[in-house]
Structure 1
Amino acid sequence: MLVSLTVGKVDAGVAVLLTEDKRLIEFPSILLPPDIHSGSIVDINVSRNLPAESRADQQFSALQHEIFSSFGTSTPSAPNLRCRNATQTSVVLEWDPLDLATSELRSLSLYRNGTKAGVIPKDKLSTKISGLALDTEYTFHLVLRTSAGQYSSERLTVRTHKMTDLSGITVTPGVMPPQLKDSLAETVERIGAKYAETIRIDTTHFVCTEPRGQAWEKAVEMNVPVVVPDWLKGCEREGRLVGVRGYYLDADPKLRQMGQPSQQVLAAQRLSVGAPQARDSPRIEHTPPTPERSTQGGEGFGGQGTSEPPTPPPKPAEERLAEERAEDEAEQTRGEVARPTVLSKETEVEDDDDDESDSTEQGRESRDIESPEPQMKTKPAPAESDEDDDDDSSERGNKDDKFDEVAL
C-alpha cells in the first residue's frame, strides 16, 4: 500500500510527517532521502512481512522454553533452624546450607522474639547469641530473602539454663600434664558437661595450665575464657556454675581457690564436726578452776587473805548446815557479844534449807554475809537513851530465846 505524506519539519533525528487528514507521524530522518525539506511530499509503501513474523515467533518461543527450564523447575527452600547448645546466658543456633535453587541471595536475617537481631553473613551456618537472661525463654527464626521471593523458617523456642544446670558447659583442653588432662575429662563427665578436643563455636571454656599452642591462640582470638582446671573442681564442689574471675590463667594465684561449699555441705560439716566443738570449748576455756583454801592464806571463806579467791561452786545444804552448827558451838564460848551475829546466821541457814529453789548466786551472797570474824570485831554502838536500852535488852532477850531453841 502506497501512502503520500507531507514533510512538516525535519530535525537531525526525527522528521514530522503529515497525512491528508492532518495527522502527525514521527519518522526517522535517516530513512528519508537526503534532499528532503519542509513541504516535500514523500511516498511510503507499507506492507506486511509474514516470513519475518514467523521467524520472530520461533525465536520468542525458544527463549521462553529456556527460561522455564532454567528457573521454573525448582524454587528456594526455607531455612531449617535448630539449637546447637544453650548455656545460662548464651545460645548457639545452626542451620543447614541454604537451598537457593537458581535464585540469588539478597539477605539472611535472624529475628529474636519477633524483633530483628542482625544479618547473617552469606557463608555462615551458625551463630552465637550472648547476653541473654538466666532461665528465660526466647523465640528465634530466620528470614531468607532471594531474587525468587522471601522464605521464613519455623519458630524455634529455646530456654536458657539455671545456675545448677551444667549441661551447657563445653570444655576444650589445652597444654597440661597428661594425668591432669585425664582427671579433667572425668570431672567433665561427672558434672554432665561436654568435652571437645578442638575449639568450636559452642566452646564455653578453654582449660589449660600453660598459655601456648594453636588452640590457646584460637581461644584468645575467639574471646573464650581461659581458665585453670581448678575452675571445674569448684563447679563440681558447689554443684553450680561459678565465676571465672579468680580462675583465669593469668590471675593472681591467691584467688585460685575452690568455691565456697554449698549449703548442704556446710550443714553436714556442722553436724559432724562443728557442733561438738562448739559445746566442749566453753567448758574448757571459760570455766575457772576451784581454788584450794590452803593456798589462799585465809581462814574459810571469810579469811583476810592477801588476795580474794574465786567464788567456789555451792555446797550441799546438809554439809553447809553441819559447818554452821559447828561454828555456832564455837561462838557460844566467846560470849554474848557474838550471839546476835550467830543468831542471824542460823536463821539464814534455816531459810536456805527450807527454800530449795535458791540459785547459786543467792548462796554466794549469803556466804559473804555469814563471815563471823569481822562481825565479832565490831563493837556495839553506845546507848543514846534509856528507852533504847530497854528496847535493846528486850530484843536481845527475844533473840536469846530463839538462839536457845535453835541450839537445842
Structure 2
Amino acid sequence: MLVSLTVGKVDAGMAVLLTEDKRIIEFPSILLPPDISSGSIVDITVSRNLSSESAAQKAFTNLQTTIFQTFGLHSPAAPILRCRNATQTSLVLEWDPIELATAELRSLSLYRNGSKAGCIPRPTELHSTKISGLAVDTEYTFHLVLKTSAGTYSSEKLTVRTHKMTDLSGITITPGIMPSALKESLVTTVDRIGAKLIDTVRIDTTHFVCTEGRGQAWEKAVEMNIPIVVPDWIKGCEREGRLVGVRGYYLNADPRLRQVGPSPGVNTAPPASPTPTTHVTPPTPERKTRDPRGMSDRNGRGSIEEEPPTPPPKHDRPGSSSSGGRPGSSASGSTTLVDRTSKMDGKSKDQGPPPEAEDSERDEPESPQDAPSTPPANRKATVEDEAEDNASFQDVAL
C-alpha cells in the first residue's frame, strides 16, 4: 500500500505529516530522508509481515508453556503430623519432609490446643520435635502451620494422650556398656514390661542404661540430656508395676536413695480401720482399798496398821505407881494400846471376815505355796503373850 504525505513541519525528533484529507500524522523524523524540509512530499509503503508475526506468536506460546510447567503443575503440600512416642510427661512428634515445590518457605509453627507453642528451627532439616513437661494421663491436640510464598497450609489436628503411671510401653531404652549376662536379663525384662529397646541414641530415647560411663553412645546421651541409669531401674519398674523415679538409680548414685514400695505421690487406698476386739483382763486383787476395820488376814485377825494408836490418858490409872514412873508414862500408854488391840482381835474372831475379805480369799490361790506368808516380825504383842512369858511389859519389843 502506497501513501503520499506532505511534510508540514520537521523538528528535532518528530515530523508533522499531512494527508490529502488534511489529517495530521506524527512521524519520527529519523525515518525520513535527510534532505526533507517543510512542503516536501514523501511516499510511504505499508505492508504486513506475516512471517515475523508467526515467529513472535510461537515464541510467546513457548514461554507461557514453560511458566505453567514450572510454577503451575506443583504447589506446596500441607505437612502430615504423627506421634512417634508418648510417655507420662513427654511426646515425640514427627512429620514428613515438607514439600515447597517452587515456593519460598516463610515459617513452620507448632500449635498445641489451638495456641501457638513455637516455631520449628531449620524446618527443612529437622522432621521431629520433643515436647516435655506435660501432665500425666492428659489429652492434647497438635497441628502444624506451614507458611510459604505460595500461601499458608495447615496439617490435620492430631490428638494424643499421655500415659498413666502404670503404662510402661512408652519407655525407650538404649543400652550402653554392661556385662553380657546383665544385658540379656535387661532384654528379657524390657520384653516383659512392654518397653522398647533401640541400639542408637535418638530423640525418642527416654533412658540410657549402662554400668560404666564411657563410649560414644554415653557421650551423646549426656549431650542430649537423657537420664543415665543402671539396669536396676528397669527391675524396679517391673517390681512396682509402675514408673519409678530415677533419682536413686542414676549412675554412681547412692543405692540408699532408692524407694521400695509405692511413692507418697501415688494415690493409694486408705488403710482399713482395725477390727474392734475385746480383750479379757483377769480381775486385779483389791489391796488396802477397803475400810481398815473390815480387812482381815487369813487367820481372821484384824489389821491395826491403818488405825493410829490412842494417845495415853492424862490422869494416872490405879496401879500405875508400880512402874515407878510419872503419870502418863510409856508403860501406861503401852498397856492401853495392848488392851485395845486385844479387844479388836476378839471382835474379829467373833464376827469373822467381812464379805469383801471372803471374795479376796476366793480369788487367791488355794495352794499354800502361792499364798503370801506373813513374816513373824510383823506379829503384834498381846496380853496373852505377856502372861505366858511371865515378863514385864517393858521387855516386849513392839
Equivalent of residue 248 in structure 2, options 246, 249, 261? 246
Give the share of equivalent positions with the same residue, in percent: 56
Alignment CA distance shift 1:355-1:376 (3 Å): closer
Deviations 1:150-180 (A, max 9, x none): 3221100111122222221111110011111
Q: Distance in 2 between matches of 1:93 and 1:44?
A: 81
Q: Distance in 2 between matches of 1:6 and 1:342?
A: 180
Q: Distance in 1 between matches of 2:360 and 2:16?
A: 148
2:61 is equivalent to residue 61 of structure 1: yes
2:65 maps to a residue whose letter is: H
1:341–1:375 CA contact under 8 A, matched in 2: no
Equivalent of residue 181 in structure 1, options 180, 183, 189? 183
Alignment CA distance shift 1:315-1:354 (3 Å): closer
Equivalent of residue 299 in structure 2, options 323, 326, 334? 326
Alignment CA distance shift 1:107-1:347 (3 Å): farther
1:191 shift after superposition: 2.5
1:207 shift after superposition: 0.6
Q: Distance in 2 between matches of 1:227 and 1:174?
A: 10
1:87 shift after superposition: 1.0
Equivalent of residue 228 in structure 1, options 227, 230, 234? 230
Q: Distance in 2 between matches of 1:55 and 1:155?
A: 53
2:341 is equivalent to residue 337 of structure 1: yes
Alignment CA distance shift 1:58-1:202 (3 Å): same
Q: Which has the larger radius of gyration?
A: 2
Matches within 5 A, 1:270-349: 314=284, 324-328=297-301, 337=341, 340=344
Q: Distance in 2 between matches of 1:209 and 1:339?
A: 96
Equivalent of residue 355 in structure 2, options 344, 350, 354? 350
Alignment CA distance shift 1:128-1:46 (3 Å): farther
Partner secondary structure for residue 66 of structure 1: helix
1:46 shift after superposition: 9.7
1:226 shift after superposition: 0.9
- Which has more helix, going by share of residues? 1
Q: Distance in 1 between matches of 2:377 and 2:231?
A: 78
1:199 shift after superposition: 1.3
Partner of 2:385: none
1:260 shift after superposition: 2.7
1:86 shift after superposition: 0.7
Alignment CA distance shift 1:112-1:327 (3 Å): same
1:351 maps to a residue whose letter is: E
TM-score w.r.t. the length of structure 1 is: 0.59
Partner of 1:394: none
Partner of 1:396: none
Q: Distance in 2 between matches of 1:199 and 1:375?
A: 97
1:243 shift after superposition: 2.2
TM-score w.r.t. the length of structure 2 is: 0.60
Matches within 5 A, 1:3-402: 49-116=49-116, 117-120=118-121, 121-251=123-253, 253-255=254-256, 257-262=257-262, 314=284, 324-328=297-301, 337=341, 340=344, 350-351=355-356, 353=358, 376=380
Q: Distance in 2 between matches of 1:371 and 1:349?
A: 23
Alignment CA distance shift 1:329-1:152 (3 Å): closer
1:32 shift after superposition: 8.1
Alignment CA distance shift 1:355-1:183 (3 Å): same
1:198 shift after superposition: 1.7
1:325 maps to a residue whose letter is: R
Alignment CA distance shift 1:80-1:54 (3 Å): same
1:219 shift after superposition: 1.0
Alignment CA distance shift 1:156-1:57 (3 Å): same
Unaligned runs of 5+ in 1: 276-312, 318-322, 359-366, 379-408
1:85–1:168 CA contact under 8 A, matched in 2: yes
1:86–1:160 CA contact under 8 A, matched in 2: yes
Partner of 1:297: none
1:3–1:45 CA contact under 8 A, matched in 2: no
Deviations 1:26-52 (A, max 9, x none): 98x9x689x9xxx9x9x9979565543
Q: Distance in 2 between matches of 1:84 and 1:91?
A: 8
Partner secondary structure for residue 328 of structure 1: coil
Alignment CA distance shift 1:133-1:32 (3 Å): farther
1:337 maps to a residue whose letter is: T
Alignment CA distance shift 1:7-1:84 (3 Å): farther
